[in-house]
Structure 1
C-alpha cells in the first residue's frame, strides 16, 4: 500500500527541505504544486525525492525513486516527477520503462556471463566453448548491446569466417567452427529474449538475427571415419605390440588409453580423466559420475579391459588411471599415437573415430542390438523398453556384450599375427 498524500502539503523548496527533521520512521513530505511529488526522510536524515501515482488503464499504483537530495535539486526532481506522471497518464509504468532501458543496454558479454553461470546447466567443456566464441569469434560485438546485433552483421561475419578459413587465414575457421559459433550466438540471444522484456511485456529480442543464416549455413556431412573392418585386427595388434615395448610413462599411458577407448567406446574426455576411485576391478565395472549426457552410469568391463587396468601402474599423488606429467595430470590428447595408428588403419583416425569403430564392431561384427549398443556407448536411448524396463544406470548386466567386443578384437588381432585360430562360440 502506497502512502496517501497529506492535506497539509506545501510547495517543496530548498528552504522547506532543509528544515525537514527526521522522525522515528520513514516520513513523506508531499509537494502542493505537483501532486505525487514528494521527499522521503529516513530516521537517519537521508532525504530522497520520489513520485507516485496510478498508471492509467491498468489501475496499478507506482512509486518511483527519483534520487537523493543533493544529487537532485528540488526543481530538478520536480521536473523528473512531471515526466513520470505524464507517462503514467499515458498508460506507461515508469518502472517497466526503466527495466526496458536497462535491458536495452545489456551486452553480449553480460548475457554470456549469465548463461554460463546457471548452476548445474553446463559442463565445463561447453562453458569453455561458449566463452571462447564470445571472446574470439564475436570479440568486436561482446561489449555491444545484444539488441544491436542485426541479420546483416550475422550474415557478414559468417561469410567472413568461411572466406578466411578457405584462404588458410588463422583468424578464419572451418564451416564446422562457423556453424558452432553461430549456434552459440543463437542460443545466447534466445536466452536474452527469455530473460529480458520490453515495457509492453514482449521479448527484448523479438526475432533472433541468427535465423537469417538458415539458408547460408554450410550443410556438413556426418562424420563417419572409423577403422574399417579389415583393419581392426591390425590396429589392435599394433597397439598390443607397441605397449609391450613402451617404457616411457606418458607413452604407456597413451597406448593404454587408446586401447581402453577401443574396448569401451568411451568419449576421449570420459576415458582420459578416469580416476582409480571410479574403477571397481573386483566387480568388473567402472563408474562415470558426470558423462556428457549428464546421466551417471556404471559401465561393464570385459576381461581384456580388466587385465589392461590391472597392468596400469599407480602413480603416487596422482589419482588418474592414465596419468601424465602435463598440467592436467592425465593424458588429454594422444595425438602422436593417433598419427601412428592412422598409418596402420590407412586413414586419419581420431579418438572419436574409435568410438565409431566400437559401435560398428558391436552392431555389425558382434550382432549386438542397437539399444544395447547405445547403452554401452552411453548414448541417450530412444528405446521405450530400455528406458522403462531396463536398469540404464547400472550396466553390469551388459558385461556379456562388452566381452563379445573384447573377444572380437583379440580374434581379429590373432588373425593378423598369423595364428591358426578358430572362432570360438560367443560367451554367454
Structure 2
C-alpha cells in the first residue's frame, strides 16, 4: 500500500506498478534518495515523472515524461540533469519551449503567415503556397532553422539556370521564390522565440544570395504607336465574326484592357454589379494596392459592354466554362494581337500601351495616368489632396485615349479596304 503523498518513498518499478490512482485530482510521491525527483499519479491512473526545485529563488516543477514511455531508471537520470540545471539557474521549461520553437517547420511558418487576417490577398497566398509546396517541397516539412546559406545558394542557382522543371533558365521565378522565402524566414524570426526570449532566427540565410542575385530589367514592351491601328482593326473585325461565346469574351476582354489600362486579373473577374453603364464607370473594390477605386468608361468601352452577351446564372462580365466561372487567359487571341503588333504582346503590355498613349500621344499628365491605372501618386499634395478613389472626373482623359485608338483603327481599316486609294485621271 502506498505511503501518504507527503512522506518520501523509494521510487522503483515495483512501487510505480502497485501505486493506486488518486481519489481525485492527483497525488505526488517524492523519492527518498533523490531530492526533488517524484511521481505524479492522477485519478485516471496516469503516472508521470516530475522534477521540482528552485531557479533563481522561484519554485519550478518540470514534467519529465510519462511512465511507460520512460523507465524509472531513465526518468531518474534525467531528473539528476534537470535538478542540476535548476541549481545552475536553468529553467527546464525554457529549454522545452526552445526545443519546440526549434522544431517549427517551413510549412507551419507559411500557414501562420498566410492565416493573418486582412494581410494578404488570395492571389498572394496562392503564390506563397505554390512556392512552399513546389519550389521548396523538399524543405517544407523540415525545421525552418535547418535551411542554410548553402541550401539557398544551391537551390537559387538551379532555378536560375534550369527553371522549376529543369527545362530553361528562370531568373524571374528564382527571384520571386526566394523573395517569398526571405519574407517567411523574417516572419519566423519575429513570431517565434527561444526559451530566453531571443528570436528563433537571428540571421536570414537568403541574405547570402546578395552577390548571386540577378537584377532583372523592367519590362517595357508595348504596342508600337504605329501598330495600334492595325491591332484595333484586327480586334474589331474578329469581334464582328466571332464564332462562339468564349472567343467573343476573349476579344472583348482584350479590347477593354486596351481602353482602360486595367490589370487582367482586375478586369477578367469583373462582375456586372460593379459596372454602371448609365454613369459610365466600373469599380474595383479590392485592388492590388488596397485602394478601392471607381474608374471612368469611355463611350467605346460603354458600347462594348452594352453589347456583351449576359449569361443566365453568371455574375461575370466575361463568363467562361472554366472552374472559376470567368475568363482568365485569352491566350489564343493574344497570339493574334502579337501577330498584328509585330512583336510578342502580353495582357500587361496592353496596360503599358494605355499609359504610353496617354502620355506621349494624348498629352495627359503622368499623375493622371497613375491615377487611371490605380497607382496612387507618391507626392504629398497628390496623396492628400487629390481624389484617388472616385475618378469619374478623369473621363475626358479616358475618352481622349479611346478616341485616338478608334481613329487609328479606322485608318487601318481604310488602308486594308483600299478606301485611301484615289484613282488618277487618265
- TM normalised by structure 1 equals 0.87
Aligned to 2:264: 268
Query: Could you give the per-residue CA deviations for residues 288-343 of structure 1, whole angstroms, max 9, x where no partner exists?
Result: 12222233222222222111111101111222101122232221111111111111
User: What is the aligned partner in structure 2 of residue 337 from structure 1?
Assistant: 333
Residue number in structure 2 paired with 1:83 = 81
Listed as ranges, the gaps of 5+ residues in structure 2 are 421-426
Which of 292, 295, 298 aligns to 2:294? It is 298
Give the match for residue 35 of structure 1: 35
User: Which ranges in structure 1 are unaligned for 5 or more consecutive residues?
Assistant: 1-5, 422-428
**Counterpart position of 1:164:** 162
Structure 1 distance, partners of 2:25, 2:100, is 32
Alignment of 1:153-232 (within 5 A): 153-165=151-163, 170-232=166-228
- 1-side partners of 2:69 and 2:274: how far apart? 61
2:102 to 90, 101, 104: 104
Looking at structure 1, the residues matched to 389 and 32 of structure 2 have their Cα atoms a distance apart, in angstroms, of 72
SS in 1 for 2:252: helix
CA spacing shift, 1:172–1:77, aligned 2, 3 Å: farther
* Change in CA separation of 1:61 and 1:122 when aligned onto 2, cut-off 3 Å: farther
Q: What's the offset of the Cα at 1:61?
A: 4.3
Q: What pairs with 1:19-30 in structure 2 (closer than 5 Å)?
A: 19-20=19-20, 22-30=22-30
Q: Give the corresponding residue for 2:148.
A: 150
1:366 aligns with 2:362: yes
1:171 shift after superposition = 4.7
Structure 2 equivalent of residue 68 of structure 1: 66
Q: 1:280 to 1:28 in 2, by over 3 A?
A: farther
Change (3 A) 1:48 1:229: same
1:425 corresponding residue in structure 2: none
* Residue equivalent to 1:356: 352
| Residue of structure 1 in register with 2:93 after alignment | 95
- Deviation sequence 1:381-408 (CA, Å, 0-9, x none): 3132232223323322332322222222
- What is the CA deviation profile of residues 257-289 of structure 1, one whole-angstrom value per residue up to 9, with x for unaligned ones? 001101111111111111112212223222212
Structure 1 range deviating more: 175-184 or 61-70: 61-70
Q: Are the counterparts in 2 of residues 254 and 334 from structure 1 also a CA contact under 8 Å?
A: yes
Give the structure 1 partner of residue 53 of structure 2. 53
Is 1:233 the counterpart of 2:259? The answer is no
> Is the alpha carbon distance of 1:7 and 1:25 closer, same or farther for their aligned partners in structure 2, counting shifts above 3 Å?
closer
Post-superposition offset of 1:150: 1.7
- Aligned-residue offset at 1:23: 4.0
Paired with 2:20 and 2:311, the residues of 1 have a C-alpha distance of 75
Matches of 1:41 and 1:169, distance apart in 2: 57
The aligned counterpart of 1:424 is none
Equivalent residues of 1:37, 1:78 under 8 A apart: yes
1:326 aligned residue (281, 302, 322):
322
Question: In the aligned structure 1, how far is the partner of 2:99 from the partner of 2:410?
Answer: 72
Whole-angstrom CA distance in 1 between matches of 2:282 and 2:58 = 60
